Amino acid sequence: MNTQRRHLVAGAATAALLAPLSMPAAAQAPDFPPKKPVTLVVGFAAGGAADAAARLIAKKLAENIGQTVVVDNKAGAGGNIAHQIVAKAPADGSVLLFGSVGPLTIAPHLMKLPYDPFKDLAPVSGGVSFPNVLVVDPGLNVKTLQQFVELAKRKSVDYASTGAGSASHLAGELFNQRAGVEMVHVPYKGGAPALQDLLGGRVASYFAAPPTALPQVEAGRLIPLATTGLARPAYMPNIPTVAESGYPGFEALNWYAFVAPGKTPAPLLDRWNQEIVKVLEDPGVRDALAHHGLTPQPTTRTGFAAFMKKEWDQWGAIVKSRGIKME
C-alpha cells in the first residue's frame, strides 16, 4: 500500500472513531432552526421574574433565527413540573427549558423526582441571575447585618421563604451555618404572602427578591441589611453584601438557565448555545433585563455544566448538614 493510500485509510479510521456511536457517520446534521415553532418552557406563572426574562429572550431569539419561539408557562411544584415535562420532551431542538436553581440543584436533594437533572436534561447556557436581599421588620431596631446576628444569638428570630427547598429557604440555611445562628424557617406559598406577613410584623426577616422588596425599602417599611451575591448589584449600590459584611465567599443566587431534553444531539445544543449567548450579549436585551433587576449570565455549555455542579454540591451539603426536610 502506497503512502497516500495509508494516509487515507488512517484518516477514515480516525473519523469513524470520532463519529457519535448513536448515528451513522453519513447522517445529516439536525435541522436548525427547527422546522416547527420552538417552545421555551417556564416553570412559573406569567408576570414573575422568570417569565419576564424568558419573554424578553424569546422575542430576540425568534427575530434572530427566523422561527417562532413560544413561551409556555407550566407552573407548579416549585418549577419541578416544567422540568419533568422537558425531560420527556422530543429531543429535536424544538423544546428548551428556562430551568431554575431549585429544581436543578436543590429539590433533588430533598425528594425523589421523576427526572435526573444530569441525565435527563442537557445544559445549554446560563441565563440570568439575581441575588436576594435580606430585609427585616423595622421593629427589630437593627440597621446592620452584624446587629442582626447579635440579636439572633440572643433571642429566637424567624425568617420567611417562598417555600421549603426554595432559593430563599436555602439562603437562610446557608446564613445560619455561616453566622452560627439558628433562625427559625417559616415557609410560605410564594413571595407575596411572605412579604405581607413581614410587613405586618408577623415574621422578622426575609431573603427577598429585590423587585419585591425594594419598593417597600424605598417607602421605609423595611430595612435592608445585605444582598446575597458576591458583588453589589448596580441597582442596590448602597446595600452591602453578606460576603463583605463578615462572611467572605457567601453567595446564594437565584438563577435561571437554558437546558434541553437530555438526548438532544450535541450539534443542536451547540447551535442553541451560540444563539442564546448572542441574545444575552445584545445591549438592548441587557438593558431590558437590568430594568427587571436581572443580570445576564451567558456561558459555554461546559461552563454552565460546571456552575450547575458547583451549585449542586453546595446546596446538597447544606441540605445534609442542616438536616433539611420537606415540610
CA distances from 303 to 127, 134, 297, 298 (A): 12, 29, 11, 9
Same fold, 36-129+254-321 and 133-245: yes
Confidence (pLDDT) at 29 = 62
Confidence (pLDDT) at 190 = 81
For the chain, the average pLDDT equals 89
What strand order describes the sheet that includes 38-42? 69-73, 38-42, 95-100, 253-261, 121-131, 295-296
Confirm if 83 and 99 have CB atoms less than 8 A apart. yes
Distance (Å, whole) CA 77 – CA 157: 28
Q: Give the class (CATH, top level) of 133-245.
A: alpha beta
In 10 A of CB 271, how many CB atoms? 18
Confidence (pLDDT) at 28 = 58
- In 3D space, the residue among 46, 43, 132, 52 whose CA is nearest the CA of residue 79 turns out to be 43
Q: What DSSP letter does each residue of 60-120 carry, written as one string?
A: HHHHHHTS-EEEEE---GGGHHHHHHHHTS-SSSSEEEEEEHIIIIIGGGTS--SS-TTTT
Q: Where are the domains of the chain?
A: 36-129+254-321, 133-245
Confidence (pLDDT) at 75 = 87
Position 203 pLDDT exceeds 70: yes
What strand order describes the sheet that includes 158-161? 184-187, 158-161, 205-208, 133-136, 223-227
Position 13 pLDDT exceeds 50: no
- Look up the CATH superfamily of 36-129+254-321: Bordetella uptake gene, domain 1 (3.40.190.150)
User: With bands split at pLDDT 50, 70 and 90, how would you rate the model's confidence at 47?
Assistant: confident
Distance (Å, whole) CA 233 – CA 229: 8
pLDDT in tens, 70-112: 999 998 888 899 999 999 999 999 999 999 999 999 999 999 9
Of 32-36, 69-73, 77-81, 206-210, least confident by mean pLDDT is 77-81
Residue 243 DSSP code: G
Confidence (pLDDT) at 327 = 59
Chain CA centroid to CA 204, Å:
26
